[in-house]
Amino acid sequence: MEPQLQQLMGSESATFRGIQGAAMEAIQQGQSPIVAVMPTGSGKSMLFMLPAWVAPRGTTIVVVPLIALRGDLQRRCARLGIVCVEWESRQPPDEASIVLVTPESAITEDFMTFWNRQRLQHRLDRIVIDECHVMLNRQKDFRPAMAQLGRLTVAQTQMVYLTATLPPTEERHLFDRMRSTPEAVQLCRACTCRTNVAYQVFQPEVDHPCQASYQWVEAPEVITFIHSRVQRARPGKVIIYGPTIPVVLQMAELLECEAYHSKQVDKAGVMGRFQSGNINVIAATSALGMGVDIPDIQCIMHVGQPRTLLDYAQESGRAGRDGQGSEAVIIQPAGIDPPKWQAEGLQPQEMAQVEHYLDPGDDGCRRAVLDHYLDGTVNGYRRNQCGDWDAPGAEEQRCDCCDGGWLAHEAMASEPGRIHSNTPA
């Protein structure tokens, strides 16, 4: 379908990149189910946009978990001349080439009636689950509809699952949620490593006693370090993640920046100001994670260790979308363990994965730990350390374990009083 891709993009030089070509071939051949694991910015959306453009009388249903993603897809389809609409039960979009639907609506009787009508009219080409890793979330109160999307297989049409975050250890879990088996799945997997992101863990020695969970965020060593990172990221943006709404509100007050969380009344306004550059720093819970596609985020900081390594991969993956060198930093004081409630509902192996990242031990490289978890072995290769994939003019950013001078530099940067301004960009 490369000639059609060139025609759609209006460029004779347009070509499929990496695993994108193999995934498109599998879609064209009608294989099902297909799981495509591709890095951010590698053209996952083109896997359903191009077939919809080539066969506009057919219908492609795309289950999209986030409002921001739906709006972005509609704008991109409009630019390419593809009829793309959001599902509304009062006005079923029978003539659209692409129909966007939330997970909650996708499993309703009204929507089942819609896709069944499309199937009987021989118009239903495929169902696509975008950001399918969300189906893996084990938190009982997190959008239970996501775990039920496997019910869509009764539509007896091609099923395509897209994600940039699927650890090999979670493949079987996803296949179960898909109501499929490893033998039946056509898996197209590319390396998802973020070579332009430097991974770091800052463990300050906090002098004053901490009587309550996360009281240490007020320590001068911590605040000074965060300000140094904000200054270094200018004119780029910074996200500071906290584990709970109270911690996020505390950070926002200390840093004099805005807060983003699930109970924030003006979420759209805060996000709009952040995207436009009216504000450059934001404190947030995990509510600001998936679907954030802002190119100039130069630094992601986590106050306290992340809940799971999968969460961390998703949230730290917001950094460096413009290809520029960026940082992902966890701030966890030495000798202070996270509160017990933070581990509630987690499997022992999930906690062990985070601990291994914080202390790589014999692996000696945080990027290696993260890449082993996210990608395993790809095309016969398993990462050993930062720099394995250096190319002329495109060297990988080093993690703090591989950058011998990092610790001394941060010791200077975190001296209280070295950064005097309390007003972030």
Q: How does DSSP assign 114-148, residue by residue? A: HHHHHHHTT-EEEEEETTGGGGG---TTS-GGGGG
Residue 420 falls within a domain, yes or no?
no
The mean pLDDT value for 249-273 works out to: 91
Residue 421 falls within a domain, yes or no?
no
DSSP 3-state of 213: coil
The mean pLDDT value for 3-8 works out to: 90
State the pTM of this model.
Answer: 0.83
pLDDT of 267 over the 80 cut: yes
pLDDT of 424 over the 50 cut: no
Residue 417 identity (one-letter amino acid): G
How many domains is the chain partitioned into structurally?
2
pLDDT at residue 208 in the model: 59
216 and 352 share one domain:
yes
Q: Which of 135, 160, 189 is the last residue of a domain?
A: 189
pLDDT tens digit string along 407-421?
545 554 555 433 322
The mean pLDDT value for 145-170 works out to: 90
185 and 202 share one domain:
no
Q: Which of 171, 189, 207 is the last residue of a domain?
A: 189
Residue 423 falls within a domain, yes or no?
no
Instruction: Note down the domain range covering 390.
Output: 197-413
Stretch among 42-51, 78-87, 182-191, 355-364 having the lowest mean pLDDT: 355-364
- Tell me the percentage of the chain whose pLDDT exceeds 70: 90
pLDDT of 422 over the 50 cut: no
pLDDT at residue 235 in the model: 92
The mean pLDDT value for 86-102 works out to: 89
Cβ contact 160:129 at 8 Å: yes
pLDDT tens digit string along 204-238?
988 755 656 788 999 899 999 999 999 999 999 99
Q: The domain spanning residue 176 has which CATH number?
A: 3.40.50.300
Whole-number Cα distances in Å, 230 to 217, 224, 324, 338, 424: 16, 10, 16, 25, 6
- Tell me the percentage of the chain whose pLDDT exceeds 90: 55
150 and 210 share one domain:
no
Residue 227 falls within a domain, yes or no?
yes
89 and 202 share one domain:
no
The mean pLDDT value for 329-333 works out to: 94
Q: Which of 189, 215, 245 is the last residue of a domain?
A: 189
pLDDT tens digit string along 38-91?
987 788 999 999 999 999 999 999 999 877 678 778 888 999 999 999 998 888
140 and 30 share one domain:
yes
